[in-house]
């Protein structure tokens, strides 16, 4: 099972990912924690280039994220899914659609197609959107801002809306959580949805297959 965490900068994705990982490990699952950009050695170089390197155009930026994602899927995510692990990723394709497609104005559909090509169509079973006013999220960040974090409030307001619109269009894949609440309350909501998915999946595995005539 692949689960992605999405949302603006400073919404608490890594905290929530950690809480869910601990819970799933305690339930006996193999859990792979990963992130984009930078879930592989090549990805770490791409992350550095895209977040801290020389100025790049929006198209170059989109391609760098797509390259990171293609390699991440091929070398980390698919092999883990094939072993039966639960993969938790801090950002995935929807970040590209929101940040490059809407934030940078490249067009959501085009960026989505690029990412689906990069991943050969792999989508998460569940995407958790930690929704928070960007004024609050950006205010929580410490340290020097990276290229995306410095993109300005308008940019971050647009990406937040893009995430919300995508989630509303596909509620079967998305869970939208109000990330202004404390971490335990957010986690309880995420855990309930994941428990539901795991139960459904276990039931599907135990359904006897129809006897062939
Ligand atoms: P993230 O790892 O969440 O930042 P941090 O380490 O500061 O918590 O993501 C790095 C930045 O990259 C973030 O501002 C969002 C941006 N990003 C995109 O613009 N497109 C993408 O496809 C991805 C995965 C991230």
Neighbours of 104 (CB within 10 A): 21
Which residue's CA is the nearest one to ligand 1's atom 8?
Answer: 9
Which tens digits make up the pLDDT trace of 91-103? 999 999 999 999 9
According to the model, what pLDDT value does residue 146 have?
84
Say if residues 13 and 130 touch (Cβ distance below 8 Å): yes
pLDDT at 208 over 70: no
DSSP category for residue 179: T
Mutate to test the pocket of ligand 1, among 4, 7, 9 (most ligand atoms within 8 A of CB): 9
Which tens digits make up the pLDDT trace of 101-122? 999 989 999 999 999 999 999 9
User: pLDDT over 70 for what percent of the chain?
Assistant: 97
Which residue's CA is the nearest one to ligand 1's atom 12?
Answer: 148
d(CA 15, CA 18): 5
Q: Tokens in use for 101?
A: 């497609």
pLDDT at 156 over 60: yes
Q: How far is the CA of 15 from the centre of ligand 1 (A)?
A: 15
Mutate to test the pocket of ligand 1, among 68, 102, 148, 158 (most ligand atoms within 8 A of CB): 148
Task: Provide DSSP, 14-36.
Answer: HHHHHHHHHHHHHTT--EEEEES
Residues in contact with ligand 1 (CB, 6 Å cut-off): 9, 35-37, 51, 65, 91, 95-96, 99-100, 146, 148-149
d(CA 186, CA 172): 19
Mean pLDDT for all residues in the chain: 94
Which residue's CA is the nearest one to ligand 1's atom 3?
Answer: 9
* Nearest ligand 1 atom, CA 103: 19
Q: Helix or strand or coil: residue 11?
A: coil
Which residue's CA is the nearest one to ligand 1's atom 25?
Answer: 95
d(CA 202, CA 204): 5
Which residue's CA is the nearest one to ligand 1's atom 20?
Answer: 96
d(CA 115, CA 84): 24
According to the model, what pLDDT value does residue 210 have?
65
Phi, psi dihedrals of residue 121, rounded to the nearest 5°: 85, 5
* Nearest ligand 1 atom, CA 65: 22
Q: At what angle do helices 13-26 and 183-206 cross, to 10 degrees?
A: 40
Give the mean model confidence (pLDDT) for residues 173-194. Answer: 97
Closest CA to 32 of 88, 106, 70, 82: 88
| Sequence-distant contacts of 46-54: CB under 8 A, at least 24 apart | 50/147, 51/146, 51/147, 51/148, 52/146, 52/147
Give the mean model confidence (pLDDT) for residues 28-57. Answer: 97
Q: How far is the CA of 208 from the centre of ligand 1 (A)?
A: 43
pLDDT at 213 over 80: no
pLDDT at 182 over 90: yes
pLDDT at 212 over 70: no
Q: How far is the CA of 36 from the centre of ligand 1 (A)?
A: 7
Which tens digits make up the pLDDT trace of 47-91? 999 999 999 999 999 999 999 999 999 999 999 999 999 999 999
Give the list of residues 6+ apart from residue 39 with CB closer than 8 angstroms, or none. Answer: 68, 72, 76, 77, 89
User: pLDDT over 90 for what percent of the chain?
Assistant: 84
Indicate the pTM of the whole model.
Answer: 0.94
């Amino acid at each position: 099972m692949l689960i992605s965490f999405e949302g603006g900068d400073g919404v608490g994705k890594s905290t929530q990912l950690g809480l869910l990982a601990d819970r799933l490990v305690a339930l006996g699952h193999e859990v792979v924690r990963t992130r984009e950009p930078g879930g592989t050695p090549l990805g770490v170089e791409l992350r550095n280039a895209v977040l801290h390197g020389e100025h790049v155009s929006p198209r170059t930026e989109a391609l760098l994220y797509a390259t990171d994602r293609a390699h991440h899927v091929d070398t980390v995510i698919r092999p883990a899914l094939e072993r039966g692990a639960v993969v938790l990723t801090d950002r995935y394709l929807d970040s590209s659609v929101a940040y490059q497609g809407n934030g940078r104005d490249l067009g959501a559909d085009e960026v989505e197609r690029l990412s689906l090509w990069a991943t050969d169509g792999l989508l998460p079973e569940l995407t958790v959107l930690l929704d928070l006013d960007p004024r609050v999220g950006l205010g929580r960040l410490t340290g020097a801002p990276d290229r995306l974090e410095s993109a300005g409030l308008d940019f971050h307001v647009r990406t937040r809306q893009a995430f919300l619109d995508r989630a509303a269009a596909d509620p079967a894949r998305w869970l939208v959580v109000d990330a202004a609440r404390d971490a335990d309350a957010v986690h309880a909501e995420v855990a309930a949805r994941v428990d539901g998915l795991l139960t459904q999946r276990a039931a599907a595995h135990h359904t006897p297959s129809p006897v062939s005539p």
